Structure 1
């Protein structure tokens, strides 16, 4: 099949809002959008988080983790948990939920295996980006983690649409790596209202422009991608098989 034509169709579908998300992912997207608004207050953020049980549970759980609960006082409700974590961390958790839910949309067993592998890769990149931001590039660690979470969101969308385009996921992913990843990824990131600095960082990752010494958010993402112990299953060329 003509994979390049299929990618253009995917981009068109994204641009006109033709995306199917589970309810939990839609609520998480609303949380992301609200937290991007400078006028959003803590009460509003907490109310939105409470509307999605999976996200609320994750927020409270992280607020009680060793990293955020240095006082030893356990949090039992969402508003205090959001206050303790801060908007950037909650936004990253919401993005992770959206991405994970997209992974769950994949249809066939083969697609689900690819999605599971891609999610494993994504979590490694996000964690490494957070560490590299603190120790190497000195950009905001939470933003770096967020960039790591969303950098493969176009790939998850590709897998969720595999059944609509027979043959799209067959063989290697040469066409995806050469152009589809950038075209579809940009469209999905824009649709999700991902902040512009993060979109620019993912663009730098798509283009592969790593600067030495590394000092930008894009550099952080590329370094994390290179160091990830699990390779993206969508970065497999025909000649690798």
Structure 2
């Protein structure tokens, strides 16, 4: 199987270099929101104008602010109120992440199913990253959430390639191994093209390095831990990792025991975020 994987990888890289498979572009509304967020003089009105152009996105933001996650004293009824409640930075990061969902679509039914499964996994990891950030007070939770939402973005060009090569869709194992091999560097290339901060651009190529030793918490580290905790009850992949070999648990001040009661307590908080994982 390794020969097939290498052949597919070589072909994919050649097509990417020839620009016959394009790296995905950030959705227009996300680009607008990102520009507004990066301008220190931006106002709630400007952000409201950008987000309100996408009614579905506006509705989701309002829904999230009214969820148990934020425990609002009174219902938020409109977008300006939602942005004011969350703040411009948090609202922007959340809007960018939510807008990315529209990228996970395909014409081929099998690829579409794979993309939906990928988006579900990404949002689960993202929720864990946000909750871990709140618990450890290590990283702003909205930025941890966004790091989770982009950490596997490099899989999209591979799935686009699979649509072009219908025979590859039938080789699920090959497709999975190709994604595993290349989505990290591809993800970093995509985020660099989108002009994201270095904290975020490094996440795709670093988060799978579970034995990484870091002096202080970083974005890639919290995504590593979020993947491990999310898969703690599984008997494959991330679920097979021996947590005591992962030094980042100590860096973040978290227990390296899968059965620690903390994980069920935090799981309840992750479930509170289910309103945006739709």
TM-score (norm 1): 0.79
Q: Distance in 1 between matches of 2:152 and 2:209?
A: 14
- Please report the RMSD computed on the Cα atoms of aligned residues, expressed in angstroms: 3.0
Cα deviation, residue 152, structure 1: 1.3
Aligned to 1:45: 47
Whether the aligned pair in 2 keeps the contact of 1:96 and 1:149 (CA below 8 Å) is: yes
Match of 1:201 among 175, 200, 203: 203
SS of the equivalent of 2:154 reads helix
Match of 1:10 among 5, 12, 16: 16
Unaligned runs of 5+ in 2: 1-6, 239-278
Structure number with the bigger relative contact order (C-alpha 8 A, sep ≥ 6) is 1
Q: Distance in 2 between matches of 1:30 and 1:11?
A: 28
Higher mean C-alpha displacement, 61-70 vs 38-47:
61-70
Unaligned runs of 5+ in 1: 237-241
Aligned to 1:239: none
Q: Distance in 2 between matches of 1:122 and 1:228?
A: 10
Matches within 5 A, 1:16-55: 19=24, 25-55=27-57
Cα deviation, residue 213, structure 1: 7.7
Q: Distance in 2 between matches of 1:17 and 1:121?
A: 24
Aligned to 2:192: 190
SS of the equivalent of 1:2 reads helix
Corresponding residue pairs, total: 226
Aligned to 1:219: 221
Match of 1:177 among 175, 180, 185: 180
Note closer, same or farther for the CA distance 1:100–1:123 as it changes in structure 2 (3 Å cut): same
Note closer, same or farther for the CA distance 1:209–1:5 as it changes in structure 2 (3 Å cut): farther
Q: Distance in 1 between matches of 2:144 and 2:11?
A: 32
SS of the equivalent of 2:195 reads coil
Aligned to 1:153: 153
Whether the aligned pair in 2 keeps the contact of 1:129 and 1:224 (CA below 8 Å) is: yes
Q: Rg bigger for which structure? A: 2
TM-score (norm 2): 0.69
